[in-house]
Structures are given as structure tokens and as C-alpha cells.
Amino acid sequence: MRRAKITIVGAGNVGATCAHWCAAAELGDVVLLDIPRTEDMPRGKALDLMQASPIMGFDSNIVGTTDYADTADSDVIVVTAGLPRKPGMSRDDLLATNAKIVTSVAEEIKATSPNAVIIVVSNPLDAMVQQMFKVTGFEPAKVIGQAGVLDTARYRTFLAMELGVSVEDISALLMGGHGDTMVPIPSCTSVGGIPVTQLISKERLDEIVDRTRKGGAEIVSLLKTGSAYYAPAAACAQMVEAIVKDKKRVVPVAAYCDSEYGVGGYYVGVPVVLGSGGVERIIELSLTDEETKAFQNSVDAVKSLVSTMDGLLAE
Ligand SMILES: NC(=O)c1ccc[n+]([C@@H]2O[C@H](COP(=O)([O-])OP(=O)(O)OC[C@H]3O[C@@H](n4cnc5c(N)ncnc54)[C@H](O)[C@@H]3O)[C@@H](O)[C@H]2O)c1
Ligand SMILES: O=C(O)C[C@H](O)C(=O)O
């Protein structure tokens, strides 16, 4: 049986770190691609990573390239191509530039890896994954966006810090778009099986949710030159693992929802079963009235962003 072929488009901070996690976990062979303008940079990063393998004891081939021919017939493609935000910017400020970049990447993927599962990371996430789906024309289950794994990891980290317990014992769910409108689901958040609401007051939980919503901006304001990449890349690697090992992980991802949750044909963060076919099932929860309202608000924000993007691309 051949190893999985994992392509990562964009060899910047998230892309190169994702290549690192995927190779170190021996998820498959990795192709790291960037634009020709970067010249030898992807090859340099790939070679550097390969030279770490005898020390760290992993066995993955890592190739750097600027040529999509090297990515042909990939099983999974992680798309990190695009600008990151800087302090003072919102993710939505990246819309015009990154929509064009994601469109061009989608055309290349369509031509070279027609059977791949694509994980979009570029921001603003929910609009970028919608654009990837539209341009490739791939089946919706095979085009997904990474946001929820990162957002819930942040939430779990903050909860563990608050309670002084292991992050491993915290299980949580956030739904909706990757932005200020993300929706916490307290009934699906527990600590060693104990509902979080029995351990933290509503007021404190609201503060932790608020910090989570602003988690990306907090890192941007600390780094100053770009945005988070270790945790985002780890989130992508977890999704790649679920796909290449057909793990059937239950994780929140940006998935194409049509009748599901009454979304009507947009990408939004929902819990799914993630396996070799991509999104194998969307899990529909019954939400409280308050959660339904917050989720609808988030979906409306995504729809509005997609509409702005379509207008910009039509100009
Ligand atoms: N969804 C998430 O949770 C999440 C998390 C972190 C970052 N992001 C987003 O991911 C993107 C990348 O972030 P980063 O920190 O790695 O940025 P970065 O600037 O370090 O890397 C981006 C790379 O993309 C490359 N690139 C640009 N156009 C390309 C094209 N057409 N084809 C291939 N490569 C291209 C650039 O040359 C650069 O190397 C940003 O849009 C950022 O906002 C999303
Ligand atoms: O905040 C950003 O711009 C990057 C990413 O979406 C994140 O949440 O870290």
C-alpha cells in the first residue's frame, strides 16, 4: 500500500509548520508548494525538514516545489496560500486579495488532483472555502475548512488554565463561522465528563468564550508581523490524520450545509464525522433557542461575506 500524498499549498508559517507536524507524525509523504516568486524557498524548507528526520526519527519524504506537477494525484491538500493579517486588521480585510489567490489555487488543484480532499485554511476562512468549492466543483464532502479544531483548542486551553486541569480532559464544541460570531455550545462542553456549567459560573464562562472569539487577534497583537501558526498547523495536521487514517473523528469543521441546520448552501462550522471521504456525516444537534439565534447570526455574517466576495470577484 502506498503512503498518502499530502500537499500543502503555501510554504509560509502555517504551511511549513503543518508540513513539520504531518511529516513528524508520519502521516504520509509531503509536498510543500509556494509561488514561483518565492524561488527556492519551498525546496529549502523541505530539505531542512528532511534533515531533521534522522534526528527525530521519522520516515516521510518532503519535497519543496513551485510546480503543481509535483503535487499531482495528492490524497489531501491543505491550502494555506494567502496573506495573514497584521495588528489593526480583521480577517475580512484579507477578502479581496485572498479570494483571488484561492481562486487560482483552486484551478490548479482541479487540474492536477481531482480526487483530493481539500482543507482550506486561508482567511477569511468561511468565504475562502466557499470559493474553493465553487471553483473546483468537487463534491462538497471533499472541500472543508479548518477553523473549529483551532477555535475549540483555544477554548479548551483557556478552560484548562482556568480550572488548573489537564487540557486532555476538556471536551468542547464551538459552532458557526471563524470569527467574532462563533457560537459556544455549553451543553457539549465538559471536563472529565462533568458539564462545564457545574464548574464555572456563567459570567466567567462568557469571559472565556469572549477570549476564545478574539483568540486569533490576541496572537496577532503579540506577534505583530503576522498571525498564529503553531496551533492552526496542529489543527490541520489533526484533520489530515483523520482523513489519511480514516479515523472517523468527530470534530467541528467548516462544512457545506444545505438542508443541515437550514443553512441553505454555505460553509459554516458544524460537528462532523471526518474520515477518508472527507466529511462523511454532518451531526445535527438540537440547539437551544439562544444557540439557534447565535448560530443564525453567524450564518448571516458568512452569507454577507460571501456576497461581498462575489461582488469583488465580478468587478
Ligand atoms: N483558518 C485558520 O484557522 C487560520 C489560522 C491561521 C492562519 N490562517 C490564514 O492562513 C493564511 C496563511 O497564513 P501564514 O501565517 O502561513 O502566512 P504566510 O505569509 O507566512 O504564508 C503564506 C504563504 O502563501 C504563499 N502564497 C501566496 N500566494 C500563493 C499562491 N497563489 N500559491 C501558493 N502560495 C501562495 C506566500 O508566498 C506565503 O509563503 C492566511 O490567510 C491566514 O490568515 C488561517
Ligand atoms: O487570526 C487570524 O487572522 C489567523 C487565524 O484565523 C487565527 O484564528 O489564528
Q: Which pLDDT tens digit goes with each residue over 20-75?
A: 999 999 999 999 999 989 999 999 999 999 999 999 999 999 999 999 999 999 99
Q: How far apart are CA 8 and CA 71, in angstroms?
A: 9
Question: In this predicted model, what pLDDT tens digit does every residue of 79-106 receive, in sequence order?
Answer: 999 999 999 999 999 999 999 999 999 9
**Is 216 near ligand 2, meaning CB less than 6 Å away?**
yes
The answer to whether residues 167 and 156 touch, using CB atoms and an 8 Å cutoff, is yes
Average pLDDT in the chain: 97
For residue 191, what pLDDT is reported? 98
Question: In this predicted model, what pLDDT tens digit does every residue of 158-207 receive, in sequence order?
Answer: 999 999 999 999 999 999 999 889 999 999 999 999 999 999 999 999 99
Percentage of the residues of the chain whose pLDDT score is greater than 70: 100
Q: How far apart are CA 296 and CA 308, in angstroms?
A: 18
Q: How far is ligand 1, taken at its centre, from the CA of residue 285, in Å?
A: 33
For residue 58, what pLDDT is reported? 97
**Is 238 near ligand 2, meaning CB less than 6 Å away?**
no
What superfamily would CATH give domain 5-145?
NAD(P)-binding Rossmann-like Domain (3.40.50.720)
In sequence order, the 6+-apart residues with CB closer than 8 A to the CB of 115 are 73, 75
For residue 95, what pLDDT is reported? 98
pLDDT at 315 over 90: no
Cis peptide before 124 (omega within 30 of 0): yes
**Is 13 near ligand 1, meaning CB less than 6 Å away?**
yes
Q: How far is ligand 1, taken at its centre, from the CA of residue 96, in Å?
A: 14
- 122-142: string of b/e by CB count within 10 Å (b at 16+)? bbbbbbbbbbbbbbbebebbb
**Is 229 near ligand 1, meaning CB less than 6 Å away?**
yes
Nearest bound ligand to CA 217? 2
For residue 180, what pLDDT is reported? 87
**Is 80 near ligand 1, meaning CB less than 6 Å away?**
yes
pLDDT (mean) for 285-310: 96
Q: How far apart are CA 277 and CA 117, in angstroms?
A: 7
Q: How far apart are CA 307 and CA 143, in angstroms?
A: 19
pLDDT at 233 over 90: yes
Q: What is the pTM of this model?
A: 0.98
The answer to whether residues 295 and 176 touch, using CB atoms and an 8 Å cutoff, is yes
Q: How far apart are CA 255 and CA 297, in angstroms?
A: 17
Nearest bound ligand to CA 236? 1
Candidate from 158, 220, 225, 236 with most ligand 2 atoms within 8 A of CB, to mutate: 220
The answer to whether residues 189 and 136 touch, using CB atoms and an 8 Å cutoff, is no
Q: How far apart are CA 132 and CA 146, in angstroms?
A: 13
**Is 150 near ligand 1, meaning CB less than 6 Å away?**
yes
Q: How far is ligand 2, taken at its centre, from the CA of residue 217, in Å?
A: 7
**Is 285 near ligand 2, meaning CB less than 6 Å away?**
no
Closest CA to 199 of 152, 157, 165: 165
Q: How many residues does the chain have?
A: 315
Taking the domain 148-311, which CATH number applies?
3.90.110.10
| Residue in this structure with the C-alpha cell 472555502, named with its chain if needed | 129
Closest CA to 308 of 178, 171, 127: 127
Would you list the domain boundaries of the chain?
5-145, 148-311
What residues are designated binding site for substrate? Answer: 85, 91, 123, 154
Q: How far apart are CA 256 and CA 234, in angstroms?
A: 23
The answer to whether residues 276 and 154 touch, using CB atoms and an 8 Å cutoff, is no
Q: Which of the residues are catalytic?
A: 178
The answer to whether residues 48 and 62 touch, using CB atoms and an 8 Å cutoff, is no
Which atom of ligand 2 approaches the CA of 232 most closely? 9
Q: How far is ligand 2, taken at its centre, from the CA of residue 3, in Å?
A: 31
Q: How far apart are CA 243 and CA 156, in angstroms?
A: 23
Predicted confidence band of residue 231 (pLDDT cuts 50, 70, 90): very high
Q: How far is ligand 2, taken at its centre, from the CA of residue 224, in Å?
A: 13
pLDDT at 1 over 90: no
Candidate from 85, 97, 126, 154 with most ligand 2 atoms within 8 A of CB, to mutate: 85
Nearest bound ligand to CA 233? 1
